Structure 1
Amino acid sequence: IFVDLCFGNIERAGSGDLWLAIFAYGLQLYFDFSGYVDIARGSAVLLGINLPENFDFPYFSISIADFWRRWHITLGDWIRNYLYFPLGGSRKGVARTCLNLFIVMVIIGIWHGAAWGFVAWGGLHGLALVIHRLTEAFCENRDGIKRWWQSWSGVLVSWFLTQFMVFTAWIFFRIPNLTQASLVIQNLWGHPADIQFAQKVYLTAIGMERFWVVLLLVSLAASMAGVYTIRRGLKLQLNWPVKLLLVPVGLYVVWLFAPQSGLPYIYFDF
């Protein structure tokens, strides 16, 4: 509701509202797609079928190449094997590699829909991959620069730049109309919010003030970080009694937070 209201009233939404909507849409898209893939994988396990993992915490990637190794993994594997490699992959020099990366990402954008916004989304990711490849080539024999990028500060900067690019590019994915998408980008800095719009969106439509919306989004991101830390850092293994105990707990949580009416999965459109 919040995302639809903000992107449906671009001229009335303030810069802060639009940034919140972009962040919320990125989380919505990830939870939507990853969630129904997890449902499919879990259902398949009940039938003795193991489906491949399709997401690997993409919002914790520290480069755009790393992002595409974690996001929609099965599509990435198919594109790499049947499009990127036949084009020559990375075997024909840096210039040809950059061209191949850009072509592949534009095609992925077109695959999502016949609109210029999807072309722009794919082109932005292609451009980001080209910049990443050129940066890698530049740093290859420069040990000092390479060590800095591998330090905590370098990793943090890499993560921020990657996610800033990913979330900004989602604008064109959410709004394939280039005119409207450009208006969103134009209003991201210094655009005041309409007072009536803020009251209608936060208090009337979703029933909470802007502060609580921010807190909710931060809590969701923190929860993801917690799960990521447990899975990657602690390598936690649950025994069977704990797993069985989590089944009714999970069902109760689903019942508690389940919406009154169902919404179609976003990625069903693709």
Structure 2
Amino acid sequence: MNFFSFEFLGAFISFFVVYWLFQKQVKIQNILLITVSYGFLFYADYRPAIVLLSYTLCIYLITNILTRYTSAKVIYWLLGILVAIYFTLFKYYSFFQESLTQVFQQWGLSVELPLIELLAPLGLSFYIFHSVSYVVSVCKKEIPKAPFLDVVLYLCFFPSIVAGPINRAKEFLPQIQAPTRKIIDYKGALMLIVLAIMKLFWLSGWFSTNYVDPVFNAPDLAQSGQVLTAIYAYAWHIYFNFSGYTNLVTGIALLLGFVVPRNFNAPYLAINLADFWRRWHISLSTFIRDYVYIPLGGNRKGAIRQNFNAFAAMVISGLWHGAAMTFIIWGAIHGVGVVLLNIKHRLFPARKNATPNFLSSLNMLLSWIITFHFVCFAWIFFRSQTVSDAIVLIQQLFSAGAWASLQAQGLTLTMFWGLFLLYPCFVTLREVIIRLERRIPWYVYPIPLALILTVIFMLSPDGVPGFIYASF
């Protein structure tokens, strides 16, 4: 069920009314949330719900029962095996099957691994990461073991099961177990939902329809100027799509009395890759840092090991996004960028308490522009359907007649550069609007929201937008 369908709107309004009839009975509210969350999964296909339930039972068994009889180290091994089984079966098997079959053929071996076609369960990557957070937090005694229904709700909470954000157990379970619950900042929640509609229906849809899809779906036919335009457009398309989805689920969660983590903080203001990953998909980047990079050794075992750990963490991040070489290469590109940044900081450490001057400001500006274009280059592989398509696009970008093609797209490219250079102003404007909207009386509030929605739908392309990260 799409969050923007009339079916979802009607179901959510009905659920919302019933849900808050039990405001003083949190356990009943939790049962209602579990019922609706599994109903959300069952609506499309019953199998993802069965996979999630079986996984939840395994996590509960490992954490709430086996921890009584064995050590944390054994629990971590069991968790690792369980995660590997579910990821391999439901997400990566076909990728490994094809890759290993090709390797065997190159070695002259006629070994054919069986082809198993399994449905990729909705939200698999996200609820598995939630489970890791829960198990590790319990083993570290950061939180007590949760009752079964609380674990069920934590893993199936419908606003964030499709595409995150990744909720940490020590932050989310206390909200599930709170003695009372109330709507949190209803005006802010409604504003986030309207902002999500603007990003997803209008901005993301417009960039995708007009610039991204025509080029990435037929890379052989694209000219240099069109390729560069499509790359810039995809940078904004994925940002508006994913941040818009995050705004939407954050607003829904607030209306249900929950706070989910912030996932974006003006990522295209980043002045280096480390800064970018502190701003982009924050819940994932901090998860990878805490559960992959630091356990591998972080920066505690010398420069070489630090760079290896950073590169490995980024490749794993790429693999998490999907079982395809395009995502692995995307992660590797970011890994190389982070390693080069670490080397640069080691060779040319920043001066502490340095007084800002013209040269430092110019350096900041160049760093901002270079970082954005590095990220855009990596997006080529992220969006391309195959590595071959990505290579074709890069070749087309530097093909003969590139300058003439760029000139032909001059007006459009100028628009994208203007959008990039004005991005800091848009970020500031958004904060100003948020402060102003809080002053609007509640009885007047629906009027500007209705006007904004009317304008958005008038400007938006036809159709209901999809969520890019729902496929991960």
- In structure 2, C-alpha distance between the alignment counterparts of 1:254 and 1:123, rounded to whole Å: 38
CA contact (8 A) 1:13 1:192 kept: no
Residue in 2 that maps onto 1:37: 246
Q: Does 1:22 align with 2:231?
A: yes
Post-superposition offset of 1:212 = 5.9
Q: What secondary structure does 2:465 align onto? A: coil
- 1:240 aligned to 431, 435, 439, which one? 439
Residue in 1 that maps onto 2:463: 261
Calculate the aligned-residue CA RMSD, in Å: 3.0
Post-superposition offset of 1:218 = 4.8
- In structure 1, C-alpha distance between the alignment counterparts of 2:350 and 2:358, rounded to whole Å: 13
- In structure 1, C-alpha distance between the alignment counterparts of 2:339 and 2:468, rounded to whole Å: 29
Residue in 2 that maps onto 1:205: none
* Larger RCO: 1 or 2 (CA < 8 Å, sep 6+): 1
Residue in 2 that maps onto 1:182: 391
Structure 1 residues 102, 176: closer, same or farther in 2, change over 3 A? Answer: farther
CA contact (8 A) 1:3 1:24 kept: yes
One-letter code aligned to 2:275 = D
- In structure 2, C-alpha distance between the alignment counterparts of 1:231 and 1:261, rounded to whole Å: 27
Deviation string, structure 1 residues 12-39 (Cα, Å, up to 9, x no partner): 2211110000000111011000001101
- 1:113 aligned to 322, 337, 343, which one? 322
Q: How does 1:126-205 map to 2 (within 5 A)?
A: 126-140=335-349, 151-192=360-401
Residue in 2 that maps onto 1:50: 259
Deviation string, structure 1 residues 129-164 (Cα, Å, up to 9, x no partner): 001111111112778x99789811100111111111
Structure 1 residues 165, 211: closer, same or farther in 2, change over 3 A? Answer: closer
Q: How does 1:54-73 map to 2 (within 5 A)?
A: 54-73=263-282
Q: Does 1:94 align with 2:94?
A: no
One-letter code aligned to 1:237 = R
With normalisation by structure 2, the TM-score equals 0.49
Q: What secondary structure does 1:241 align onto? A: coil
- 1:229 aligned to 428, 432, 445, which one? 428
CA contact (8 A) 2:225 2:409 kept: no
- In structure 2, C-alpha distance between the alignment counterparts of 1:54 and 1:235, rounded to whole Å: 20
- In structure 1, C-alpha distance between the alignment counterparts of 2:324 and 2:269, rounded to whole Å: 29
Structure exhibiting the larger radius of gyration computed from Cα positions: 2
- In structure 1, C-alpha distance between the alignment counterparts of 2:409 and 2:422, rounded to whole Å: 20
Structure 1 residues 262, 137: closer, same or farther in 2, change over 3 A? Answer: same
Structure 1 residues 257, 3: closer, same or farther in 2, change over 3 A? Answer: same
- In structure 2, C-alpha distance between the alignment counterparts of 1:222 and 1:141, rounded to whole Å: 25
- In structure 2, C-alpha distance between the alignment counterparts of 1:61 and 1:263, rounded to whole Å: 27
Deviates more, 1:260-269 or 1:121-130: 260-269
- 2:286 aligned to 77, 87, 92, which one? 77
- In structure 2, C-alpha distance between the alignment counterparts of 1:128 and 1:214, rounded to whole Å: 25
Post-superposition offset of 1:43 = 1.4
Residue in 1 that maps onto 2:198: none
Q: What secondary structure does 2:220 align onto? A: coil
- In structure 2, C-alpha distance between the alignment counterparts of 1:8 and 1:141, rounded to whole Å: 43
Deviation string, structure 1 residues 78-122 (Cα, Å, up to 9, x no partner): 111111110011111211111000001011111111211111110
Q: What secondary structure does 1:70 align onto? A: coil
Q: Which runs of 5+ in 2 are unaligned?
A: 1-208
Q: What secondary structure does 1:62 align onto? A: coil
- In structure 2, C-alpha distance between the alignment counterparts of 1:149 and 1:92, rounded to whole Å: 37
Q: What secondary structure does 1:50 align onto? A: coil
Post-superposition offset of 1:7 = 1.9
Deviates more, 1:247-256 or 1:43-52: 247-256
Structure 1 residues 148, 122: closer, same or farther in 2, change over 3 A? Answer: farther
CA contact (8 A) 1:102 1:130 kept: yes
Q: What's the % identity of the aligned pairs?
A: 37
Structure 1 residues 176, 93: closer, same or farther in 2, change over 3 A? Answer: farther
- In structure 1, C-alpha distance between the alignment counterparts of 2:240 and 2:395, rounded to whole Å: 28
Aligned residues: 256
One-letter code aligned to 2:222 = A
Residue in 1 that maps onto 2:100: none
One-letter code aligned to 2:312 = I
Structure 1 residues 91, 20: closer, same or farther in 2, change over 3 A? Answer: same
One-letter code aligned to 2:291 = Y
Q: What secondary structure does 2:265 align onto? A: coil
CA contact (8 A) 1:118 1:176 kept: no
- In structure 2, C-alpha distance between the alignment counterparts of 1:65 and 1:150, rounded to whole Å: 22
